[in-house]
């Protein structure tokens, strides 16, 4: 099959092995896949990943032992757990120590004609949700994870650092739940687009300290330091960024100001897809380009352009 492969360099292969059927897993024909910041970081060395990247996708089940899945249009939870360790038994399979992660850790991903995922990971997409909306299920689920991890109040002053893909999704998710975050970034044209979607925006260098909650979506190792500087004493910093580069951190302010730090990664797909189906918000205005898989390298170059939000790829 055709697949976009990273083996130290990103390139298209036309002879990549098709995924082999295994018990309990389905073969999915990819309809559309989205490029996110983690995919870009993989090409910079994140997780030392080698293989087919991509974890945001919509596709149709072509082969499965579960005949009820065949033909279904699906998205997929990206973490594949063992199901038997203490973490899995406690309902935290996303933290299973032997897990694989679609397109990120030990498992080929979505920038290919086909992928393979466990049947339990696949969630049917309602007919009312277009592919271009459903492809946002994974980042929207990750954004909604914040609501499960942190006890936010409607009166909280919330700042989201980063006006890119992740920051936009987090802002839309919180806004849809009647919070009023301010999105801070360095790109006036992107902030204007987010403001047109009903979000509060501000240039990052104009933010003053004193926020109850600061959410780092910068994708930069320096985002943590900036978040610590902006949050009030006994406030909360939520870290959403993943970056290949390490960071030097002075943790003294965390102790002195008794700041709560929350790391936040993946979220549950089912409520995210339900929110999309209910029309809680429409993410499609964030799509800035659609590329064919054959032009996948160019798609990654477009996604690296900081003026762009979401680039999608169609096999």
The pLDDT tens digits of the residues spanning 203-262 come to 999 999 999 999 999 988 788 999 999 999 999 999 998 765 666 778 899 999 999 999
Pair 8, 102 in one domain? yes
**Number of domains composing the chain:** 2
What is the chain's mean pLDDT, rounded?
A: 94
- Classify residue 268: in a domain, yes or no: no
Pair 132, 147 in one domain? no
List Cβ<8 Å contacts ≥24 apart for 286-295: 286/136, 286/165, 286/168, 286/310, 287/132, 287/311, 287/312, 290/314, 293/2, 293/3, 293/4, 293/12, 293/111, 293/112, 293/113, 294/2, 294/12
pLDDT of residue 279: 87
pLDDT of residue 246: 65
Q: Which residues of 167-203 are buried (b: 16+ CB within 10 A; e: fewer)?
A: bbbbbbbbbbeebebbbbbebeebbebbeebebbbbe
Pair 61, 88 in one domain? yes
pLDDT in tens, 39-48: 999 999 989 9
Pair 13, 111 in one domain? yes
Question: Which CATH number goes with the domain that contains 187?
Answer: 3.40.50.720
Pair 42, 119 in one domain? yes
Q: Does pLDDT of 68 surpass 90?
A: yes
pLDDT in tens, 96-121: 999 999 999 999 999 999 999 999 99
- Classify residue 191: in a domain, yes or no: yes
Pair 111, 172 in one domain? no
pLDDT in tens, 270-281: 989 999 999 888
Question: Which CATH number goes with the domain that contains 84?
Answer: 3.90.180.10
Percent of the chain with pLDDT over 70: 98
- Classify residue 272: in a domain, yes or no: no
Confidence (pTM) = 0.90
How many CA atoms lie within 13 Å of 20's alpha carbon, on the beta-carbon side?
2
- Classify residue 274: in a domain, yes or no: no
Please enumerate in sequence order all residues whose Cβ is within 8 A of that of 105, keeping only pairs 6 or more positions apart, or say none: 47, 49, 99
Calpha distance 189→184 (Å, rounded): 12
Mean pLDDT for 155-161 is 98
Question: 163: domain range?
Answer: 143-263
Pair 64, 113 in one domain? yes
Pair 163, 240 in one domain? yes
Closest CA to 16 of 48, 41, 50, 47: 50
């Amino acid at each position: 099959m055709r697949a976009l492969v990273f083996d130290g360099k990103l390139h298209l292969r036309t002879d990549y092995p098709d995924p082999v059927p295994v018990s309990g897993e389905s073969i999915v024909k990819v309809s559309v896949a989205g490029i996110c910041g983690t995919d870009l970081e993989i090409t910079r060395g994140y997780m030392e990943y080698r293989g087919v990247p991509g974890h945001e996708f919509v596709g149709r089940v072509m082969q499965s032992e579960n005949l009820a899945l065949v033909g279904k249009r699906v998205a997929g939870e990206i973490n594949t757990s063992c199901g038997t360790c203490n973490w899995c038994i406690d309902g935290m399979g996303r933290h299973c120590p032997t897990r694989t992660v679609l397109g990120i850790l030990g498992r080929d991903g979505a920038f290919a004609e086909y992928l393979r995922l466990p049947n339990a990971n696949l969630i049917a997409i309602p007919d009312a949700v277009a592919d271009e909306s459903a492809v946002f299920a994974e980042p929207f689920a990750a954004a909604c994870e914040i609501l499960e991890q942190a006890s936010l109040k409607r009166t909280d002053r919330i700042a989201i650092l980063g006006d890119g893909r992740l920051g936009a999704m987090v802002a839309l998710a919180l806004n849809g739940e009647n919070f009023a975050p301010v999105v801070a970034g360095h790109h006036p044209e992107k902030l204007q687009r987010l403001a047109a979607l009903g979000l509060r925006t501000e240039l990052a260098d104009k933010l003053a300290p004193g926020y109850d909650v600061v959410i780092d979506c910068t994708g930069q190792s320096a985002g943590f330091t900036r978040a610590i500087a902006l949050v009030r004493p006994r406030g909360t910093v939520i870290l959403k960024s993943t970056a290949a580069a390490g960071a030097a951190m002075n943790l003294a302010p965390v102790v002195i100001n008794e700041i709560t730090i929350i790391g936040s990664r993946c979220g549950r797909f089912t409520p995210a897809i339900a929110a999309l189906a209910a029309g809680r918000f429409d993410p499609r205005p964030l799509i800035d380009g659609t590329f064919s898989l054959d032009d996948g390298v160019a798609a990654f170059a477009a996604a690296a352009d900081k003026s762009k939000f979401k680039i999608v790829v169609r096999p």
